[in-house]
Structure 1
Amino acid sequence: MDMYCECPPAMPRIGEEAPDFEAVTTHGVMKLSDYKDKKWVVLFSHPADFTPVCTTEFMALAAADDEFQALNAQLVGLSIDSIHSHLAWVRNIKEKMGVKIPFPVIADLDMHVASLFGMIHPNQSSTAAVRAVFFIDPSMIIRCILYYPLSNGRNIPELIRLLKAFQTSDTHSVATPANWQPGDKVVVPPPKTVEQSEIRDTEGYECKDWYLCFKTI
């Protein structure tokens, strides 16, 4: 007897290439790969248009859009709503709140993109995406995945801080410690050999021990 299991798609993971897609957005049709070798993409989902918490998030993200753009990052929103719903909501936010939404919002009625990125969590809702955030670098590699429940909005300054941390690590081949903010000291990668560990104290870093050293960049 043939056995068949309708298994859910594999969830994307950090370090993997982001699955490409083509979708209708409030700015027209887009492909994720349109941004390859050009920009970071901060892809985020929200549960539904015309909802209170989502509206506050969209206004906060709109206010921060210039900061994301200055970091060579493109915000892209998504929910399981129609393009007509998105357009009406964006117009409503502008008319009622005085805030223009400058980034594209994907219409995902068939849940194709939401399913590709594991944004549907059935114990939260089978018809609405959770508040997911995917940081995708210009090589289309997923660098970070954040999930928030339907009930709680995201902290936008933390998203900006994370993006700056990734870019700092990439540029300087360093790590960032707990609570790092731009301008703070960074963590030097630990030695990989006995010889490297023995000379660590002579390399000019601020060391707490041979494996934990900081420097200013």
Structure 2
Amino acid sequence: MGLRINDTIPNLTVATDQGTMQLHDWIGDSWAILFSHPKDFTPVCTTEFGAVAQLAEAWKERGTKVMGISVDSVEEHKKWKADIEVFAGAKAGFPIIADEDLKVAKAFDMLPADAYLPEGRTAADSETVRAVFIVGPDKKLKLSMTYPMNVGRNFAEVLRALDALQTAAKETIATPANWNVGDDVIIPTKVSNEDAKKKYGEFETVFPYLRRTKLPA
């Protein structure tokens, strides 16, 4: 059974380039993002790790920790980080899990239970280890995205999705298509018009089931 939205993520003990960690302890009371890669020293993944490094302040502003996953060793991760930092022009201060035994990849349903890494493997042997998982402080999976190896992840979209998740959790609202911070939000259908007026003030009724409002600045 795969990991689904609102499932509690496995509390795995993982080896990283910054030491051994338990996932739930590492998350603590923060939001967290896990982003996975099929192999170190691969071109698309290097640009992605670089993008994550450049967004260090954005993660901090949102109270969010980030952790990479790759199916190579701790020593390989440390060497790869040097390339990442040169490319990004920024410090890669986040930990990277060394998932050599594929424990994380299998627990998060990125690889089947019988998967293994063959001798002389290439990134194609673990190409589905290309996902983003956004996890709440309650350790539950809030959102996941999966990409092919030849398409770089859009971290502006990861940030936008994180903003939407955090706003929805704080304000008890939903967000429409293409929403960004400051845009109108959607009032949940379970909230009556009377309660909506009390809670949100003025709102626009597009359809009985679609009501829009602005949040206070």
Q: Could you say whether these structures have the same fold, taking a TM-score greater than 0.5 normalized by the shorter chain as the test? A: yes
TM, length-normalised to structure 1? 0.86
Shift of 1:65: 1.8
SS at match of 2:2: coil
The answer to whether the 8 Å contact 1:174/1:186 transfers is yes
Of structures 1 and 2, the larger Rg is shown by 1
The amino acid across from 1:168 in the alignment is: T
Shift of 1:201: 8.9
SS at match of 1:145: strand
Unaligned runs of 5+ in 1: 1-9
Offset from partner CA, 1:111-163 (integer Å, 9 cap, x none): 011110012277x9443543101111001010011110111110001001111
- The CA distance in 2 between the partners of 1:59 and 1:169, in whole Å, is 29
Offset from partner CA, 1:74-122 (integer Å, 9 cap, x none): 1100011011110111123335653321110000110011110012277
The residue that corresponds to 1:209 in the other structure is 207
- The CA distance in 2 between the partners of 1:97 and 1:178, in whole Å, is 31
Select the residue among 43, 47, 59 that pairs with 1:52: 43
- The root-mean-square deviation of aligned C-alpha atoms, in Å, is 2.3
SS at match of 1:143: strand
- The CA distance in 1 between the partners of 2:99 and 2:143, in whole Å, is 22
The amino acid across from 2:182 in the alignment is: G
Select the residue among 65, 79, 97 that pairs with 2:70: 79
Question: Which shows bigger deviation, 175-184 or 86-95?
Answer: 86-95
The residue that corresponds to 2:118 in the other structure is none
The residue that corresponds to 2:120 in the other structure is none
Unaligned runs of 5+ in 2: 116-122
SS at match of 1:146: strand
Q: How does 1:89-108 map to 2 (within 5 A)?
A: 89-95=80-86, 98-108=89-99
The amino acid across from 1:146 in the alignment is: M
The residue that corresponds to 2:156 in the other structure is 157
Tell me: CA distance 1:27–1:190, structure 2 relative to 1, closer, same or farther (3 Å): same
The residue that corresponds to 1:190 in the other structure is 189
- Percent identity, aligned pairs only, is 37
SS at match of 2:90: coil
- The CA distance in 2 between the partners of 1:200 and 1:173, in whole Å, is 11
